[in-house]
C-alpha cells in the first residue's frame, strides 16, 4: 500500500470539495426556493448546509455531507450535483 502516491488525487478531491462547499454557502434563500419548489426539499437542503457549516474541519464537513446525502431526496441531490 505504501508504494502508491495518491497525494495529487487527494488534493484534487479536496479542491473539488472546497468548491462545492463554497457554492453551497453562497446559495441565497431565493435561489433555494427557485431550485427546490417543495418546502420539504428546501428544508432538507438548508439542514445539510447548516450541518456542514457547523462542522469544524474538512473531514467533519465531508462526513456531514455524505451522511445527509444518504437520506436526501432526489431533488436535493440534483441541486447538489448542479452546483458542483
Q: Would you give the distance in Å from CA 30 to the centre of its chain?
A: 18
Write the CB contacts of 46 (distance below 8 Å, at least 6 apart in sequence): 32
Cell match 457547523: residue?
54
Among 13, 20, 84, CA closest to 53: 20
Tell me the domain boundaries of the chain. Answer: 28-83
Pick the more confident residue, 17 or 33: 33
pLDDT in tens, 11-20: 777 777 777 7
Evaluate if pTM is beyond 0.85: no
Whether the per-residue pLDDT at 27 is higher than 60: the answer is yes
Give the 3-state DSSP-derived string for 19-64, with helices as H, strands as E and coil as C. Answer: HHHHHHHHCCHHHHHHHCCCHHHHHHHHHHHHHHHHCCCHHHHHHH
Amino acid at each position: 500500500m505504501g508504494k502508491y502516491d495518491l497525494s495529487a488525487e487527494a488534493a484534487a478531491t479536496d479542491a473539488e470539495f472546497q468548491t462545492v462547499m463554497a457554492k453551497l454557502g453562497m446559495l441565497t434563500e431565493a435561489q433555494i426556493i427557485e431550485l427546490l419548489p417543495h418546502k420539504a426539499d428546501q428544508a432538507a437542503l438548508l439542514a445539510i448546509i447548516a450541518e456542514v457549516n457547523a462542522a469544524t474541519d474538512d473531514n467533519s464537513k465531508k462526513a456531514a455531507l455524505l451522511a445527509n446525502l444518504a437520506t436526501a431526496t432526489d431533488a436535493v441531490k440534483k441541486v447538489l450535483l448542479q452546483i458542483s
